Amino acid sequence: MKVIASSLRKGNVVDIDGKLYVVLTAENFHPGKGTPTTQVDMRRISDGVKTSQRYKTTDQVERAHIEDSEFQYLYQDGDGFHFMNQENYEQTTLPADIIGDQSAYLQENMVVKLSMHEGTAVAIELPQKVTLEITETEPVVKGQTASGSFKPAMLSNGVRTMVPTHIVAGTRVVVMTADGAYVERAKD
């Protein structure tokens, strides 16, 4: 299916010269003079090689047929990350390079969306938010009680984030999987 380059988004899979590429970033540029362009950073699915392409925003690009299915995360071992299809209970294994730095947010039994092309997983989409526990944080400095002030903290998955000053170690918080940003205290 042909689409215009400016409609490409992160996670889309495109077919260029018979090879599949997953879009990592897609930025549209609209200069004051000249032709608007779209800069697309991609990773070739077959061997993981990253590449960059620049298109006119109206150029046609071939989008590969992808099926999105819900899978449940099971575990990680030396072979990669193991997932189970929610509908037919088939298991599939993804190598670490497809998951990338999102792997820190994977939790057992988490339901994720895998993009499949001809039976092979090519991209993963995690839930937008996850609940994690704060393992360590700095003590509040006296006088640092202004609303909107943040302090560094370590999450149970090993990722550092910034949290409000009233959050202490042992508190469960909700964070964004895209960048690890603090959202709110967990309601559980």
Query: In the chain, what are the domains?
Result: 2-62 (2.30.30.30), 67-125 (2.40.50.140), 130-185 (2.40.50.140)
Beta bridge partners of 130: 175
pLDDT at 72 (0 to 100) = 92
Reported as a pLDDT band with limits 50, 70 and 90, residue 116 is confident
Least confident segment among 1-15, 28-42, 52-66, 136-150: 136-150
Structure tokens at 104: 């820190």
The CA distance from 42 to 23, in Å, is 4
Does position 126 have pLDDT exceeding 80, yes or no?
yes
pLDDT at 147: 64
- d(C-alpha 141, C-alpha 160), whole Å: 19
Top-confidence residue, 66 or 55: 55
Using alpha carbons, select from 103, 11, 110 the residue that is nearest to residue 66.
11
pLDDT at 99: 79
Q: What average pLDDT does range 7-29 have in this prediction?
A: 85
Q: Average pLDDT in the 2-21 region?
A: 84
- Distance between CA 85 and CA 119 in Å, rounded? 12
Q: What is the pLDDT of residues 143-155, one digit of tens each?
A: 666 667 888 899 9
pLDDT tops 70 at residue 3: yes
Computed over every residue of the chain, the mean pLDDT equals 85
Task: Give the span between the Cα atoms of 55 and 41, in whole angstroms.
Answer: 11
pLDDT tier at 84 (50, 70, 90 boundaries)?
A: very high
Average pLDDT (41-48) is 82
pLDDT at 46 over 80: no
Contact by Cβ (8 Å): 71, 111: yes
The pLDDT of residue 146 is 60
Residues across the chain: 188
Query: How much is the pLDDT for 143?
Result: 64
